[in-house]
């Protein structure tokens, strides 16, 4: 099927129209991402945690107790950033620190029972939200959407790495 191309000549062309559609789709994904993040934040704010703190807690729930270095790698953020997040989460009673039994330099981070309970409540809330968003959609459409999103998620690390490898260095501010 031919789709209207975005040219002023009124001609139809499948190649150009396909390229235009490809450029518009990521824009929709990029607009959707902050809206979904806002929804996640809304639920987490009830517990005094934003997206970054919530991400740490979800990762800890998934991994179980872990050394801070491994948590940093799992999240893909710097050890310094993880330390700041853990400091705040510990102060609020969401995580505990304990010495590693075999490595004096390492600290084991674990979530508290209070955090476990909060995450369980949040998970239920997010599952209800997902149900509300997806209710009534055709199962075949949902399966196709899940497949496409999975493909994008699988490709993303390699695409980002390739872009980062070829990107010019960031401009330095003039002094």
pTM of the model: 0.67
Mean pLDDT of the chain: 84
Cβ atoms of residues 118 and 92 within 8 Å: no
Task: State the architecture of 28-133 in CATH terms.
Answer: Orthogonal Bundle (1.10)
Mean pLDDT computed over 59-81: 94
**Per-residue pLDDT at 54 exceeds 60:** yes
Dig out the tokens for 17 from the structure: 């129209």
Domain boundaries, the chain: 28-133
Question: Residue 17 pLDDT > 60, yes or no?
Answer: no
Q: What is the pLDDT of residue 8?
A: 39
Q: Calculate mean pLDDT across residues 55-78.
A: 94
Q: pLDDT, tens digit, for every residue of 87-131?
A: 999 999 999 999 999 998 999 999 999 999 999 998 898 899 889
């Amino acid at each position: 099927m031919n789709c209207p191309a975005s040219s002023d000549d009124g001609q139809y062309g499948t190649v150009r129209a396909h390229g235009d559609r490809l450029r518009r789709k990521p824009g929709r994904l990029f607009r959707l991402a902050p809206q979904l993040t806002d929804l996640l934040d809304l639920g987490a704010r009830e517990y005094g945690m934003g997206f970054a703190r919530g991400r740490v807690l979800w990762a800890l729930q998934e991994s179980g107790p872990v050394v801070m270095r491994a948590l940093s790698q799992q999240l893909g953020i710097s050890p310094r950033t993880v330390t700041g997040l853990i400091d705040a989460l510990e102060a609020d009673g969401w995580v505990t620190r304990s010495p590693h039994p075999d490595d004096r330099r390492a600290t084991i981070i674990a979530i508290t029972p209070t955090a476990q309970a909060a995450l369980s409540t949040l998970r239920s809330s997010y599952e209800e939200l997902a149900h509300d968003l997806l209710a009534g959609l055709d199962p075949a459409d949902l399966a196709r959407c899940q497949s496409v999103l999975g493909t994008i998620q699988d490709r993303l690390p390699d695409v980002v790495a390739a872009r980062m490898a070829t990107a010019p260095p960031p401009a330095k501010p003039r002094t």
